[in-house]
Chain A
């Protein structure tokens, strides 16, 4: 089974802090994604990556950056956390190629910014 592991289940950070959310997948997937999930808004794509060192903006990239130095690891960075970034963050991975393969999600990191 594919396993996508997010390093923290819960995080509490202060406004202005730099925050790192880490995600590791163990199935050699090319594609990795970061979503945030908010009540009433559903899942929204922040950034995705289809190869090592490659990154593409999703629908809501403002205030975030990402890093993918190794195939299995995809990090989400909040350069200066703000209260409106309080949310559930979900990492996902999938096989590469132009076709569709299912997204496999981690169990999420619930981030609170105070």
Chain B
């Protein structure tokens, strides 16, 4: 059974304090790994898709990386508006656009 584990569950940073969120996964064959951001009271918003080990994607202060067993979401010099829950999801090869989600990391960035 596919599993996605995110750590830490919660992370509190000071503005400008860089850090990383982790997503480890077990699938028989990875088709893609996805990062979403979810603000309170809203649905998840798509951030990145990674398809193969070694791939990296960047968006503003966020950079996602992928290895064969895990993905990291690096947050560089975060701002309070980066506060949200970050969700990781995997799609197995052959799985029709079905995603298995982790439980997320709640990030709070204080000014």
Which residues on A are within 8 Å of B, measured CB to CB?
A: 4, 31, 40-45, 48, 50, 56, 58, 90, 92, 94, 98, 100-108
CA distance A36 to B4 in the complex (A): 17
- Report the contact-size class of chain B (Cβ under 8 Å from the partner): 20 to 34
- Chain B residue nearest to A94 (CB atoms) is B97
Within the complex, which residue of A40, A43, A100, A107 is in contact with B101, where a contact is CB–CB below 8 Å? A43
User: Is the contact region of chain B dominated by helix, strand, or loop, or is it mixed?
Assistant: strand
The chain A residue with its CB closest to the CB of B44 is A105
| Residues in chain A near residue B45, CB distance under 8 A | 105
Decide yes or no: A108 and B42 within 8 Å by CB, A42-B104, A43-B87 being known contacts: yes
A-B contact pairs, 7 of them (CB 8 A): A42-B102, A48-B98, A50-B97, A90-B44, A98-B96, A103-B99, A108-B43
Contact call A31/B43, Cβ cutoff below 8 A: no
Chain B residues with CB under 8 A of A50: 96-97
What CA separation (Å) do A105 and B3 show in the bound complex? 22
| B72 CB–A CB distance under 8 Å | no
CB contact under 8 A between A100 and B49, given known A43-B87, A43-B101, A50-B96? yes
| Interchain nearest-CB distance for A100 vs B (Å) | 5
CA of A107 to CA of B97 in the docked complex: distance in angstroms? 20
Asked whether any CB of chain A lies closer than 8 Å to the CB of B41, the reply is yes
Task: Confirm or deny: B91 has a beta carbon within 8 angstroms of a beta carbon on chain A.
Answer: yes
